[in-house]
Structure 1
Amino acid sequence: MMTDGVSSAMGRELPLRGAVNARDLGGLRTVDGRQVRRLRVFRSDLLTALDAGDVSFLLTDCGLRTIVDLRAPGEIVTDGTGAVVDAVAVYRNLHVYGADRVRLDLTEVSPDGSMFERYCEYLAHSSENIAAVLRLLAVEGQLPALIHCAAGKDRTGVVIALLLAVAGVRADDIIADYAATTPNIAALRARGGRPADAVDRLPAWVFAAEATTMRQFLTHLDVEHGGPAEWASRAGLDRATQRRLADNLLCD
């Protein structure tokens, strides 16, 4: 397990050389005063550049057991998965997508000024897969788990927001965790593996992780779907499974 000194020094950020947007959800607070346990669920960008030291850290220091990959199968063929996938007990590919079913940062997008509409598309088109992620994490013995996509911002951001909301984490903490990607955006844009001209054509808001966007998404979840628990129930995650999920994630 991670030592207190290492945990204190790094905060929630994971000290990985091969990823630029990786962090622990531990410490986020619920509305009833509990917290997400340390070293239970991590979020990250692409894992293909992790080196041997990174893999050892995740397996030995963090006890990583499960990886959930939210990318499209075509992305996995093109970009790969990374050595850590071969070392964990469980690997699941559960693609989260909008109306076009393809990766946002390599497509033309409508310049509406935020990612909010895209996130609503995830609810409309990927609710079954998102519910499958939450169901997996509610199973005893599946944690610690790492959830990732390409940048760890949009698909991962929505799945993590729903995971935390269903578990009862405060909206302000969910929003702050989403916005914690902001200092990493320059590194995400600079990272290789994507055509530079395709990236440069996209408006800056595509890469943003604005708190207002996540706040708008959570409001949409409440107003249009009756809140996170009701959304999850409609997506196929019954209340008993939701309670097991919260028990897996939280401590007093």
Structure 2
Amino acid sequence: MSQRSICAALKLLTVKENIPAMINCAHGKDRTGILVALVLSCLGTPREQIIHDYSKSTKGLEPIKERCYKEIVERYHMDISFTQSHPHAIIQMFNHINDKYGSVENYLEAIGFSGQEQDLLRENLGRYALLVDKEPDT
């Protein structure tokens, strides 16, 4: 449902003058989590690492757990599972993309983010991929 927003954000990352960039939102796990997962996938980050990084948001949301509950469950009447970032959510996203589009790259093209733009993203952000946490938290 946020394909246009995701595509627009990705396009911003193809402009060298926009790098470095900070990507954030109210909770950092939904559109932001998906956007970051797609960027990391485009950069060649192993799927297991992307899933691990996404799931860290549950711990990161602990300080605002009550606010998330009020905003997500009470205000919008969504299931409590939407207040967390369980690994299965991002796994299901990748499975859906693979089932429907064949790959993340194909999905990105389908939403309007061309192969050439994907190359620009890799060129602009590739050096930052080394900064991704490579070791699981213990």
* Partner of residue 3, structure 2: 127
Q: Does 2:102 correspond to 1:226?
A: yes
Aligned partner letter, 1:217 = M
**Cα shift readout 1:85-131 (whole Å, capped 9, x = no counterpart):** xxxxxxxxxxxxxxxxxxxxxxxxxxxxxxxxxxxxxxxx3212211
Q: Does 2:112 correspond to 1:249?
A: no
Decide which structure has the larger Cα Rg and report it. 1
* Partner of residue 83, structure 2: 207
Q: Quote the Cα distance in structure 1 between the aligned partners of 2:97 and 2:73.
A: 35
**Contact 2:13-2:19 at 8 Å conserved across structures:** yes
Aligned partner letter, 1:172 = E
C-alpha displacement of 1:166? 2.1
* Partner of residue 148, structure 1: 24
Unaligned residue ranges in structure 2 (runs of 5+): 131-138
Q: Quote the Cα distance in structure 1 between the aligned partners of 2:108 and 2:33.
A: 16
1:126–1:141 Cα change, 3 Å: same
Report the 3-state secondary structure (helix = DSSP H, G, I; strand = E; otherwise coil) of the residue aligned with 1:180. helix
**Contact 1:166-1:232 at 8 Å conserved across structures:** no
State the Cα RMSD in Å. 2.3
The count of aligned residue pairs is 126
* Partner of residue 31, structure 1: none
* Partner of residue 135, structure 2: none
C-alpha displacement of 1:191? 4.4
Q: Quote the Cα distance in structure 1 between the aligned partners of 2:12 and 2:72.
A: 36
The structure in which a higher percent of residues are strand is 1
C-alpha displacement of 1:246? 0.8
1:230–1:202 Cα change, 3 Å: closer
**Contact 2:73-2:79 at 8 Å conserved across structures:** no
1:189–1:228 Cα change, 3 Å: same
Task: Output the TM-score relative to the length of structure 2.
Answer: 0.79
The equivalences for 1:15-26 within 5 A come to none
* Partner of residue 50, structure 2: 174
Aligned partner letter, 1:245 = L
C-alpha displacement of 1:234? 1.4
Percent of aligned positions with the same letter in both sequences? 29
Task: Output the TM-score relative to the length of structure 1.
Answer: 0.45
